[in-house]
Homo-oligomer: A and B are copies of this chain.
Amino acid sequence: MLQESPLSPTFSPLYRQIKRLILQGLESGEWRPGELIPSENELAARFNVSQGTVRKAIDEMAAENLLLRRQGKGTYVASHNDDDPHVSFRFLRLVPENGKLEPSQSVPLECWRAKAGLEVSRTLGIKPGAPITIVRRLLKFGAKPVVVEEIYLPGETFDGLSLEILQEYQGSFYGLLESRFGVRMIRAEERLRAMAADRASAALLGVAEGAPLLSVERVSYTYGDRPVEWRRGLYSTADYYYMNELN
């Protein structure tokens, strides 16, 4: 493996360069979510570095949930589908107030096309007026509606998404985006606020108009820190709360 001079201003250690190369394999689709990537020895041979250097690159990527190691089997590309089916909502932080874990269910309400306004275009990094797809859905725990959300997606990337597809698909939303459109979400930022329920949301969630709701705005990113989803959810936090771990 050739390495730039350590004196170069753009210097980065070998294992980070290897990490970049593996990342390119993920971005280019050479290895797709759920698939096995070559063994550490193979990658070491391919990149002309030692196995330990490949290992360190993969270590970091596994810590970032990009790869998944399984002893004796190999290293897999992380996927929203192969996850534990119970925890298939990897980014959802809702926890029941009374420990009772009711089965969750996503209820798609609407799905339509529109043109990006200024705010959406900025957050998604597309042109104002570019086509977008909007999904409106409800999240239920047992029979209880707990979240109502609107999801904004760049139309080109997710061309063909429809209410039917959403209704048919078994599994998580991100699982669908991944297997059907080849876009994997790897990271997200959420902005939380408290706000009063508007009439429509109140009706859907079964709370009084003006009741305090938790507003959760999320921007999700795929490889290369490219934002590909903006959503805004209103959470009814009477029976479920938003759990967060700080380190």
* A interface residues (Cβ-Cβ under 8 A, vs B): 63-65, 91, 93, 95, 186-196, 211-215, 218, 235, 237, 241-247
Contact = CB atoms under 8 A, between A and B. Distances in A.
Nearest to A220: B246
B63 A191 contact: no
Contact of A191 (B65, B188, B213, B243): B243
B192 A241 contact: yes
> Which applies to chain A's interface (DSSP): helix, strand, loop or mixed?
strand
Contacts of A93: 244, 246
Contact of A212 (B212, B218, B242): B212
Given A63-B63, A213-B212, A246 B189 contact: yes
5 contacts: A63-B63, A91-B246, A191-B244, A194-B237, A214-B214
Contacts of A189: 243-246
B194 A194 contact: yes
Given A63-B63, A213-B212, A246 B188 contact: yes
